[in-house]
Amino acid sequence: MNEILRNLPKIDKLMQILHGDDISLAAKLKAARDVLAELRRGITDGDIMEIPHIDDIVSMVISKATDSSAYGLHKVINATGIVLHTNLGRAPLAQTAAEHVKQAALGYNNLEYDLLAGRRGSRTESLERQLTELCGCEAAVCVNNNAAAVLLILSALCDGGQVVVSRGELVEIGGSFRIPEIISQGGAVLKEIGTTNKVRLSDYENAMGQEVSAILKVHTSNYRIVGYTEEVNLEKLASLACGLQIPLIYDLGGGSLIKLSETEPIVQESAKFADILSFSGDKLLGGPQAGIIVGKKKYIDKLRKHPLYRALRIDKLSLAALEATLKLYQEEKLHEIPAVNMLTVSIEELRNKADILLAMLKSSSKQLSAEVIETSGQAGGGSLPAEDFPSFAVAIEFCGISVQNLENRLRNWDIPIITRIHKNRLLLDIRTIDTEEFDIISKAVKYISDCTSEEFREGSYHV
């Protein structure tokens, strides 16, 4: 063992023959030390009985140095069919929104400067004008996400008071954040009413008292209760809140500005009754991560003056992306918003795209078994849980390669291709794949096809 250890190459020798000008010296030096340390452990533990060839060690160092120098966040191809895939960044931005972000990022801008008056201005004034016009409300304000929006609303309007919420709306909104916890963090006291599946107007009326500071309605956008159910609509709650001179707060969640389903409320309709409502920017709206709050001016003004607003306010890049996305709504160019386009695309267009991808894949490999199949998916991101979106997928198989192995190879491609497995078949759902990504998928499949089945079974394949 000692003899093998003595024959390991020295750091100096490795550094002399290492190449890769795009990799920093520090990254190569750390990688060389790490690789040699791993080899020493393997030799000491008896797992390595012979030192790899020097060329193989150099390759190991370069591979490790390259991995450590890469960005943690990079492009993937979403072939799952889930449009608002939380793990994959939810809604992709429109081209014009991305260009507007680039412009805001590369130079100075008038973020908080009034060009006409020549003095400090509001960072969100233009954005708020867009929102009031699109949503039909008196005022608007934006923060960094919808959970922050709800927290700010409760902190500014309900601190120390009771907030009445239906038991069936005490949802967990993702990442283990729950409505009761947000209410508590906002300094308010939860007063839950009704049962899991039923709440009546009388339940709200009986809960009213001097300590009640608001009624909170939460749109259960990430699940549905069906069957023996009952809830109170916004119009009746608005009448009750108005009579008691307390605000009706509506956590809308998804925040669609167009009709996507019979069960999903749109912002404009909800804004007619709720005194203040909040929704996400990166869900059904199809923009960047943001918490958008619209409603009556007297309540929005309180939010702006609250100390928490500065801590939660939207940054310049998200502001630029949201402004550009809303401009597409104003100009009625909804087809340019990727998430909206993917959710509203016709089934005929999806079939046509699937046929094109199938033809490309078959021409790239004779070993490939592939066909177009009917499938269905969901919007994702906790939106439209009861809605199935019919789609088409290209189902692929390789003789001698397990579906799990195939999924792993595609996931570890240069540009990772994220797929899903259904009934032991790997599916490429066409709804979320851009036609410009077909060539990348085709090249990946061809490369896999050119590798032998034996290489895959032994796990020796490496990108």
The predicted-structure confidence for 320-346, as pLDDT tens digits, reads as follows 999 999 999 999 999 999 999 999 999
Nearest to 257, CA basis, from 132, 347, 390: 132
pLDDT class for 364, splitting at 50, 70, 90? confident
Show Cβ contacts of residue 43 under 8 Å, excluding neighbours closer than 6 positions. 1, 4, 5, 8, 51
pLDDT at 461 over 70: no
Question: Could you read off the pLDDT of 380-433 as tens digits, one per residue?
Answer: 877 887 688 999 999 998 877 889 989 998 998 889 999 999 988 999 999 999
The three-state secondary structure class of 113 is strand
* Residue 314 host element (H or E): none
* Residue 360 host element (H or E): helix 347-364
**pLDDT for position 222:** 61
pLDDT at 226 over 80: no
Supply the mean pLDDT for the chain: 89
The CA distance from 237 to 215, in Å, is 8
**pLDDT for position 270:** 94
pLDDT class for 170, splitting at 50, 70, 90? confident
pLDDT at 115 over 80: yes
Q: 25-34, 277-286, 441-450 — which one is most confidently predicted on average?
A: 277-286
Question: Could you read off the pLDDT of 21-74 as tens digits, one per residue?
Answer: 677 888 888 988 999 999 989 888 888 888 888 888 888 888 888 777 778 888
The CA distance from 287 to 130, in Å, is 14
pLDDT at 246 over 60: yes
The pTM of this model reads 0.84
pLDDT at 277 over 50: yes
pLDDT at 462 over 90: no
**Residue 289 CA, distance from chain mean position:** 8
pLDDT at 456 over 50: no
Percentage of the chain exceeding pLDDT 90: 62
Domains of the chain in start order, with CATH, are: 2-69 (no CATH), 77-85+342-458 (3.90.1150.180), 95-334 (3.40.640.10)
**pLDDT for position 15:** 85
The region of weakest confidence among 188-202, 255-269, 274-288, 379-393 is 379-393
**pLDDT for position 6:** 83
Distances (CA, A) of 72 to 33, 383, 463: 22, 27, 17
The CA distance from 394 to 382, in Å, is 26
Question: Could you read off the pLDDT of 74-90 as tens digits, one per residue?
Answer: 899 999 999 999 999 99
Tokens 């919007």 sit on residue: 379
**pLDDT for position 414:** 84
Sign of the dihedral through C-alpha 67, 69, 73, 77? negative
Q: Are 216 and 164 in contact (CB under 8 A)?
A: yes
CA angle 208, 212, 218 (to 5 degrees): 90
Number of Cβ atoms within 10 Å of the Cβ of 298: 12
pLDDT at 460 over 60: no
pLDDT at 156 over 50: yes
Tokens 């100009």 sit on residue: 331
pLDDT class for 459, splitting at 50, 70, 90? very low
pLDDT class for 248, splitting at 50, 70, 90? very high
Bridge partners of residue 402, in order along the sequence:
none
pLDDT at 175 over 70: no
Q: Are 197 and 168 in contact (CB under 8 A)?
A: yes
pLDDT class for 20, splitting at 50, 70, 90? low
Question: Could you read off the pLDDT of 401-411 as tens digits, one per residue?
Answer: 889 989 998 99
The CA distance from 386 to 43, in Å, is 56
Contacts for 238-245 with beta carbons within 8 Å, 24 or more apart? 238/273, 238/274, 238/275, 240/201, 240/204, 240/205, 240/208, 240/215, 241/214, 241/215, 241/275, 244/208, 244/212
